[in-house]
């Protein structure tokens, strides 16, 4: 196992809430997958969970060394959970192509949030 990238991000939950209020459905559909939205909207306050996914997408893009360039988009990085609750990144499109070219075996994620802040750490293993 070798680690080729680490990314971290923290986001103010209120920032995500304001973007959702301003851009509504357009914001949700541009940034989050259907599975992510389904998971987050189960909670009485979905915004800390949405913010954690926003932070995870940022952290993965940083760990890959690309940011959101070269075709990597918000929706090409998705956060899902294994049956035991572990968050994992699912890559599609350009993000998947870049990961394949890098020889990525796994993207490890750690998410955390409070009512006010969400943070994520991504580690890329080859």
pLDDT recorded at residue 87:
96
> What is the number of structural domains in the chain?
1
The enclosing domain of 70 has a CATH number of 3.90.470.20
pLDDT recorded at residue 122:
98
Low-confidence ranges of the chain (pLDDT < 70): none
For the question of residue 113 being annotated catalytic, the response is yes
pLDDT recorded at residue 1:
83
* Catalytic residue selected from 18, 49, 57, 62: 62
pLDDT recorded at residue 23:
94
Smallest Cα–Cα separation from 109: which of 46, 60, 62, 73? Answer: 60
**pLDDT tens string 31-54:** 999 999 999 999 999 999 999 999
**Containing domain of residue 75, as a range?**
3-125
Q: Any residues with CB less than 8 A from the CB of 78 and at least 6 apart, and which?
A: 32, 33, 35, 36, 89, 90, 91, 92
């Amino acid at each position: 196992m070798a680690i080729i990238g680490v990314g971290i991000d923290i986001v103010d939950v209120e920032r995500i809430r304001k973007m959702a209020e301003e851009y509504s459905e357009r914001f949700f559909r541009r940034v989050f997958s259907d599975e992510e939205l389904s998971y987050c909207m189960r909670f009485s306050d979905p915004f800390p969970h949405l913010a954690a996914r926003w932070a995870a997408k940022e952290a993965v893009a940083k760990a890959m060394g690309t940011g959101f360039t070269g075709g990597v988009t918000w929706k090409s990085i998705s956060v899902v959970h294994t049956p035991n609750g572990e968050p994992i990144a699912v890559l599609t499109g350009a993000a998947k192509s870049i990961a394949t070219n890098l020889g990525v075996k796994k993207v490890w994620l750690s998410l955390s949030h409070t009512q006010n802040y969400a943070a994520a750490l991504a580690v890329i293993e080859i």
